[in-house]
């Protein structure tokens, strides 16, 4: 007669393996991902200027893409220090970099437009003669090519040093006009296109210098197509608005969508 133990031992072994599962014991799971600590730096396009009400300083608005990003994809807005009127120099001297530290995971940055006198070129084309428009565009384009790369290189290096473990996303500027809808004030469709080409040149330089520092450039030009200041559904405020040539609420939503699409939470530490 065969021993019963030889028949039941394999069954007992299997049962021993199954007991933890039957009792609800599961393999240890990975720790939940921590919130992405986020600091927002830059100029008026980062502060949300154009859509009031504003903070008492720097024209910060609740419509800013930084505020809208807060809470999305586990992004936790820590410091919102973008300031209307900021240049590459005043961003540093004004203390924006103090928001950064070794615990910063995500940085967004919009800077450069005020360094080249972009608004002066726009006004020259809208309110001046053809010669003034051409002169303003030539001066601005020269500044973009010659002066801006070094200015950006300096401030980007400081951002990288201030937040050594962060991912940095640099946002560009939209094309302000939709030439297909005809003249806008004194700016002909051809002059509008020249201004848009200037915006493309500005974005190209920003993107190139950003890439050299390992930063990611967020392009918004396609999202603003057909929504220039002279379009039927503008996402840019007109010359006579207090926030002239800044995004309106729809424009800032477009910025938010672009940055949200660019950020991949799985790539953060």
- Rounded to an integer, what distance in angstroms lies between the CA atom of residue 257 and that of residue 248? 14
Active site residue 44: yes
In the three-class reduction of DSSP (H, G, I as helix; E, B as strand; rest coil), residue 74 is classed as helix
DSSP-H helix ranges across 61-111: 65-69, 88-93
* Active-site residue flag, 61: no
State the CB neighbour count (10 A cutoff) for residue 25.
9
Residues in the chain: 269
Q: Exactly one of 44, 47, 61, 110 is catalytic; which is it?
A: 44
Question: Could you tell me which residues come within 8 angstroms of residue 102 by beta carbon, excluding any fewer than 6 positions away?
Answer: 163, 164, 165
Give residue for tokens 């601005």. Answer: 140
248, 242 Cβ separation under 8 angstroms = no
CA distance 258 to 254: 6
For residues 268 and 105, the answer to whether their CB atoms sit within 8 Å is yes
Helix axes 189-212 and 148-162, enclosed angle (nearest 10): 40
Q: Considering 47, 227, 231, 246, which one is annotated as catalytic?
A: 246
Give catalytic residues, as residue numbers: 44, 246
């Amino acid at each position: 007669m065969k021993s019963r133990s030889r028949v039941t031992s394999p069954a007992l072994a299997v049962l021993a393996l199954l007991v933890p599962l039957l009792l609800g014991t599961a393999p240890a799971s990975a720790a939940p991902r921590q919130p992405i600590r986020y600091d927002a730096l830059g100029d008026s396009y980062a502060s949300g200027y154009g859509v009031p009400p504003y903070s008492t300083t720097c024209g910060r608005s609740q419509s800013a893409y930084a505020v809208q990003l807060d809470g999305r994809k586990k992004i936790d807005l820590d410091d919102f220090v973008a300031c209307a009127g900021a240049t590459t120099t005043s961003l540093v001297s004004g203390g924006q970099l103090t928001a950064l530290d070794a615990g910063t995971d995500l940085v967004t940055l919009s800077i450069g437009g005020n360094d080249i006198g972009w608004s002066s070129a726009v006004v020259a084309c809208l309110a001046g003669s053809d010669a003034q428009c051409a002169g303003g565009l030539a001066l601005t384009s020269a500044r973009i090519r010659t002066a801006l790369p070094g200015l950006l290189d300096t401030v980007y290096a400081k951002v990288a040093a201030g937040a050594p473990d962060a991912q940095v996303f640099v946002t560009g500027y939209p094309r302000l006009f939709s030439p297909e809808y005809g003249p806008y004030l004194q700016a002909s469709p051809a002059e509008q296109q020249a201004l848009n080409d200037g915006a493309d040149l500005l974005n190209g330089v920003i993107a190139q210098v950003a890439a050299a520092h390992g930063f990611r450039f967020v392009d918004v030009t396609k999202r603003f197509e057909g929504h220039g200041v002279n379009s039927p559904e503008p996402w840019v405020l007109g010359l006579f608005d207090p926030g002239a040539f800044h995004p309106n609420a729809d424009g800032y939503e477009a910025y938010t969508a672009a940055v949200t699409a660019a950020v991949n939470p799985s790539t953060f530490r």
